[in-house]
């Protein structure tokens, strides 16, 4: 029986990102993935948010995504686009890029790291004991792991076997997604009718001046709202025809189906993200409508929050209690995502009263303060973990500043490339000491002379030092004493040796 420190069930974006994080930290990690390769049939998530782009930039891998995607102001809230071009970040935009490309690029990165992938196999069961988890695979083999992480989607077997409750709200809307040939050309773009939203597009497109320009020909990508939300299984071509006729008055002579699937606005969240040696991330921990494009991005950011913590526990640096901060920090984030997606679905309804509500919301989002607050939330740039009172930076993402150091200029994000922490001293050299944590937390003396600004908040006071976690969030700000720094180091990076 092969053994690994961590086994991840599911090799989608969340599982791949988590495997990469653990491998960077020197942890023996494996993925169990049912697909023989990374190919996806069908169109799922369609882009990366500003904060996810920052996360990829922190690891030095954002460029391949930017090279293949379409940069645009795609942050929005149901009824309107929200411009974030004035936000203080190098990635003050979203990136339109289909999930199949996102996964391929992530898999290429993981392929360069020491990660074992068991392809063409599924997890069929597991047993947990005090020392670890024994996993049973679909080919009859077994694996042994110290920890098991379920990144296996909304119908997560890991979550079900672990007995983790998945409360929430049932579906109120149902949509069919498909790619097929059509005898008649439909009107490309997004449309709203009395029955709901529907859209037609092509696989190849460009974004020019903020507008989608499709290729001249090819199979049609279809999204249409069904009349009822009761469908649970895979839809058929006849289901698609009936939905098109109901929404558009015609099925456009649809034929030659390439793939078809269904999604709903069912919204559920795992009651706990950790139960003993079993953890959940991505869709296994939270499902919701894809409106707003936050699902994949939330999952990738789950992985980056969890990876370094799990690595420190596996390596004996930190106690198991550190894993509880994963739930404490990420559960409220996803709860908020569920709330915003349900609100957006409600605003897409087509009755007169919803139209009136939509007009009021549009007026409110036209106000600068409201626009900045909601845009910071939807882009992921406004996330703040509750580390108590203090400087506005505390618990927020560290800006990617251009620093001046004794060894030359460097960006903050370059200090995070290997998924480790850093203490950034912006005051007099020698004024801080990492003491017994010096082997775990490097100290960097630097100078920064520019403004300090945070998305959605604006200017903040310049700190004299910041302790940055491997996920890029600020764990301590140098307005307190050396005792405060020592307490933060002990909390996040284990007790002193």
Taking Cα atoms as reference points, which of 339, 396, 344, 342 lies closest to residue 365? 344
Asked if 45 and 290 count as a contact pair (C-beta separation under 8 A), the reply is: yes
208 and 303: one domain?
Answer: no
360 and 407: one domain?
Answer: no
Asked if 104 and 141 count as a contact pair (C-beta separation under 8 A), the reply is: no
Domain that holds residue 278: 2-168+268-378
94 and 134: one domain?
Answer: yes
Report how far apart the first and last C-alpha atoms of the chain are (Å, whole number): 34
259 and 303: one domain?
Answer: no
250 found inside a domain = yes
Low-confidence stretches of the chain (pLDDT < 50) are none
391 found inside a domain = no
106 found inside a domain = yes
Helix (H) or strand (E) holding 269, with range, is strand 267-269
| pTM as predicted | 0.94
Q: What is the pLDDT of residues 372-418, one digit of tens each?
A: 999 999 999 999 999 998 999 999 999 999 999 988 999 999 999 99
Q: What is the pLDDT of residue 234?
A: 85
394 found inside a domain = no
308 and 424: one domain?
Answer: no
Q: What is the pLDDT of residue 288?
A: 94
52 found inside a domain = yes
161 and 179: one domain?
Answer: no
For 197, 227, 350, 485, the CA distances from 250, given in Å and listed in that order, are 15, 15, 20, 66
368 and 482: one domain?
Answer: no
**Rounded Cα distance, 404 and 160, in Å:** 51
CA dihedral sign, ordered 99, 202, 35, 239: positive
276 and 238: one domain?
Answer: no
264, 283, 310 — which closes off a domain?
Answer: 264
Q: What is the pLDDT of residues 189-221, one digit of tens each?
A: 888 877 778 889 887 777 766 667 776 677 888
Asked if 186 and 220 count as a contact pair (C-beta separation under 8 A), the reply is: yes
Q: What is the pLDDT of residue 73?
A: 84
282 and 227: one domain?
Answer: no
Asked if 78 and 292 count as a contact pair (C-beta separation under 8 A), the reply is: yes
**Rounded Cα distance, 219 and 257, in Å:** 9
386 found inside a domain = no
For 50, 396, 397, the CA distances from 383, given in Å and listed in that order, are 12, 6, 7
Q: What is the pLDDT of residue 350?
A: 82
The residues, any chain, with a CB within 8 Å of residue 391's CB and separated by 6 or more, are 460, 461, 463, 477, 479
Q: What is the pLDDT of residue 483?
A: 79
State the CATH number of the domain containing residue 245. 3.30.70.2450
Question: In this structure, what is the dihedral angle of CA atoms 298, 303, 309, 315, given to the nearest 10 degrees?
Answer: 180
State the CATH number of the domain containing residue 26. 3.50.50.60
Residue position matching structure tokens 């409201």: 370
162 and 178: one domain?
Answer: no
397 found inside a domain = no
**Rounded Cα distance, 157 and 470, in Å:** 30
The Cβ of residue 428 has, within 10 Å, a number of other Cβ atoms equal to 9
Q: What is the pLDDT of residue 230?
A: 62
296 and 254: one domain?
Answer: no
Sheet containing 443-445, strands listed edge to edge, beginning at the edge strand earlier in sequence: 443-445, 422-425, 465-468, 474-477
State the CATH number of the domain containing residue 484. 3.40.30.120
Number of domains in the chain: 3
Pairing of β 142-150 and β 2-9: parallel
378, 413, 440 — which closes off a domain?
Answer: 378
**Rounded Cα distance, 204 and 98, in Å:** 10
288 and 362: one domain?
Answer: yes
383 found inside a domain = no
264, 283, 311 — which closes off a domain?
Answer: 264
Within the chain, how many helices (H) and strands (E) appear?
11, 31
- Residue 445's SS3 state is strand
């Amino acid at each position: 029986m092969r053994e690994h420190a961590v086994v991840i069930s599911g090799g989608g974006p969340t599982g791949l990102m988590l495997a990469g994080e653990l491998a960077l930290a020197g942890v023996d990690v494996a993925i169990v993935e049912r697909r023989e390769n990374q190919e996806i049939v069908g169109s799922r998530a369609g882009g990366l948010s500003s904060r996810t782009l920052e996360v990829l930039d922190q690891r030095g891998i954002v460029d391949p995504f930017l090279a293949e995607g379409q940069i645009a102001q795609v942050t929005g809230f149901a009824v309107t686009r929200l411009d974030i071009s004035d936000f203080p970040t190098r990635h003050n935009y979203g990136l339109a890029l289909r999930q199949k490309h996102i996964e391929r690029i992530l898999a290429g990165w993981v392929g360069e790291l020491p990660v074992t992938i068991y392809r063409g196999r599924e997890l069929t069961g597991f047993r947990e004991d005090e020392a670890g988890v024994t996993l049973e695979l679909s080919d009859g083999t077994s694996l042994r792991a110290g920890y098991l992480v379920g990144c296996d989607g909304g119908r997560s077997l890991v979550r079900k076997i672990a007995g983790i409750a998945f409360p929430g709200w049932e579906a109120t809307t149902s949509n069919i997604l498909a790619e097929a040939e059509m005898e008649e050309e439909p009107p490309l773009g997004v449309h709203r009718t009395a029955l709901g939203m529907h859209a037609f597009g092509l696989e190849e497109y460009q974004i020019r001046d903020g507008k989608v320009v499709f290729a001249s020909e090819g199979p049609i990508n279809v999204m249409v709202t069904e009349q009822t939300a009761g469908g649970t299984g895979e839809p058929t071509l006849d289901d698609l025809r009936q939905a098109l006729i109901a929404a558009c008055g015609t099925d456009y002579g649809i034929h030659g189906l390439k793939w078809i699937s269904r999604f709903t606005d069912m919204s559920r969240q795992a009651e706990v993200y950790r139960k003993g040696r079993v953890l959940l991330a991505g869709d296994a921990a939270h499902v919701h409508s894809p409106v707003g494009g936050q699902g994949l991005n939330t999952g990738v950011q789950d992985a980056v929050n969890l990876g370094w913590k799990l690595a420190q526990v596996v390596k004996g640096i930190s106690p198991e209690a550190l894993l509880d901060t994963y739930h404490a920090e990420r559960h409220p984030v996803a709860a908020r995502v569920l709330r915003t997606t349900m609100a957006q679905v409600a605003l897409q309804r087509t009755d007169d009263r919803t139209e009136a509500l939509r007009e009021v919301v549009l007026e409110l989002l036209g106000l600068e303060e409201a626009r900045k607050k909601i845009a910071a939330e939807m882009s992921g740039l406004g996330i703040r973990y509750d580390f108590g009172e203090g400087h506005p930076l505390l618990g927020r993402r560290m800006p990617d500043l251009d620093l001046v150091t004794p060894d030359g200029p460097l960006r903050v994000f370059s200090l995070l490339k290997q998924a480790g922490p850093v203490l950034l001293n912006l005051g007099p050299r020698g004024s801080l000491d990492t003491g017994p944590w010096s082997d775990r937390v490097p100290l960097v003396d630097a100078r920064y002379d520019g403004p300090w600004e945070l998305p959605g908040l604006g200017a903040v006071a310049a700190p004299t030092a910041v302790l940055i976690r491997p996920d890029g969030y600020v764990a301590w700000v140098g307005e307190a004493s050396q005792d405060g720094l020592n307490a933060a180091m002990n909390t996040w990076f284990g007790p002193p040796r």
